[in-house]
Amino acid sequence: MTTRKNQATLTAEEKRRFVDALIALKRSGRYDEFVTTHNAFILGDTDNGERTGHRSPSFLPWHRRFLLEFERALQSVDSTVALPYWDWTADRTARSSLWAPDFLGGTGRSRDGRVMDGPFAASTGNWPINVRIDGRTYLRRSLGSAVRQLPTRAEVDSVLAMSTYDMAPWNSASDGFRNHLEGWRGVNLHNRVHVWVGGQMGTGVSPNDPVFWLHHAFVDKLWADWQRLHPNSAYLPAAGTPNVVDLNETMKPWDDTTPAALLDHTPHYTFDAA
Amino acid sequence: MPDITRRHALGAAAALAVTVGAPLTAAAADGHRSHEEHGGHDGHQDLQAFDEVYRGRLIQGHATEGGGHHHGAGYAVFVDGAELHVMRNADGSWISVVSHYSPVPTPRAAARAAVDELQGARLVPFN
């Protein structure tokens, strides 16, 4: 059984195995397929049209399945690896061990945002940015420059307190838990973290930065936390909503799973702590 | 993934249209500045065309015919002639693929944010 752990608690051995599996996936070309898929949905999901991966109720189950696919790919390289999560309410500065050279490496240099240390620095030759929207082929970050503060635990708790999963019009204008967690409305959780990291993480090709997976693993954990807080609150909408993935409708690009099939994470993985 | 394939195909078509259309767009903007005063077809102030040099980059934007842009923005933005994928949010704010998680009020603001983020790099045609 896969146990997803807080990144801050990983041993040196666990960090090394996770990094090595990422680099192996990158070398094989499989990593970049995930970046391509994500960007296709970023470009295609619109507030007034079809929307699946983002700005819609299926933001959470879509990313749950996307991370499961990615985690299974990592485990095909090293079966001991699980996706760690980054609790950005706790590890909220560029001095966190997350950004140390033995894990993800640090922020970018001021001149061009280029990450200069760690396993994903361009100078290693192991991490070419191939799926990109501009000419730059090196990993970039600008931790804490576009927005100063990561969300606080109090802000997270204020969103977890929202008892309605999602609401019409089921997009970036919605009230309810999903859109406040996604961040288009209110205190802004998920979106703000992308902006805080900067570089490719602020763009449609955000999975180019390995921290994408740790960020989304924590967003996914917050969904599980919300379910435990609101056992009588269901995924919405239930049925018959144009352009939106209802509870029992299949999701692209897999077309073989529904939000209903992904509500319970425990058949696939558990977390290290509640 | 048939839908992604379709999106790719449409993206490639849009990229071709950009290659052909960008010089015409620039010429039209130069020759008919009064368009900027009239704004977009629906009269929204933020759908006005624009054409300026910002931090050394030519940025342009204009409403697209019939809102036929394949992702439904109804508006196209260019940086040095290469199309920047932009999207309008339900509340009227805008994002681009370069600055996807940080809405700004207008397409011009999205173009300027993209120039800030690009730090001189060229845009790759989206697909």
Q: What's the rounded Cα separation, in Å, for the pair B121 and A77?
A: 35
Closest CA to A186 of A195, A175, A197: A175
Q: Residues in chain A whose beta carbon is closer than 8 A to a beta carbon of chain B? A: 37, 39-40, 42-44, 46-49, 112-113, 132-136, 146-147, 169, 171-173, 183-184, 190-192, 194-195, 202-206, 252-253
The pTM of the full predicted model, rounded to 2 decimals, is 0.89
Contact in structure between A196 and A150 (CB atoms under 8 Å) = yes
Q: What is the DSSP string of A46-76?
A: -TTS--SSSSSTTHHHHHHHHHHHHHHHHHH
Q: Do B3 and A44 touch (CB under 8 A)?
A: yes
Antiparallel, parallel or unpaired: β A2-4 and A269-271: parallel
Q: What's the rounded Cα separation, in Å, for the pair A167 and A25?
A: 38
Which pLDDT does position B47 carry in this prediction? 82
Q: What's the rounded Cα separation, in Å, for the pair B89 and B92?
A: 5
Q: What is the average pLDDT score of chain B? A: 72
Closest CA to A217 of A41, A115, A67: A67
Q: How many CA atoms lie within 13 A of A195 on its CB side?
A: 21
Residue of B71, B98, B101 to mutate for A, most A C-beta atoms under 10 A: B101
Q: Do B100 and A206 touch (CB under 8 A)?
A: yes
Q: Considering only the beta carbons, identify the residue of A40, A132, A202 that sits closest to B102.
A: A202
Q: What's the rounded Cα separation, in Å, for the pair A26 and A113?
A: 21
Q: Tell me the nearest-neighbour CA distance from A189 into chain B, angstroms.
A: 11
Closest CA to A58 of A153, A144, A166: A166
Closest CA to A160 of A274, A2, A18, A71: A274
**B123 in contact with A at a CB cutoff of 8 Å?**
yes
Contact in structure between B102 and A146 (CB atoms under 8 Å) = yes
Which pLDDT does position B126 carry in this prediction? 76
Q: Do A194 and B1 touch (CB under 8 A)?
A: no
CB A273: neighbour CB atoms within 10 A? Answer: 9
Which pLDDT does position B22 carry in this prediction? 35
Q: What is the ipTM of this complex?
A: 0.94
Residue-level pLDDT, tens digit, chain A, 274 residues: 899 999 999 999 999 999 999 999 999 999 999 999 999 999 999 999 999 999 999 999 999 999 999 999 999 999 999 999 999 999 999 999 999 999 999 999 999 999 999 999 999 999 999 999 999 999 999 999 999 999 999 999 999 999 999 999 999 999 999 999 999 999 999 999 999 999 999 999 999 999 999 999 999 999 999 999 999 999 999 999 999 999 999 999 999 999 999 999 999 999 998 6
- Residue B86, pLDDT > 80, answer yes
Q: Do A184 and B103 touch (CB under 8 A)?
A: yes
**B20 in contact with A at a CB cutoff of 8 Å?**
no
Q: Tell me the nearest-neighbour CA distance from A117 into chain B, angstroms.
A: 21
Q: What is the DSSP string of B15-48?
A: HHHHHHHHHHHHHHHHH-THHHHH--TT--GGG-
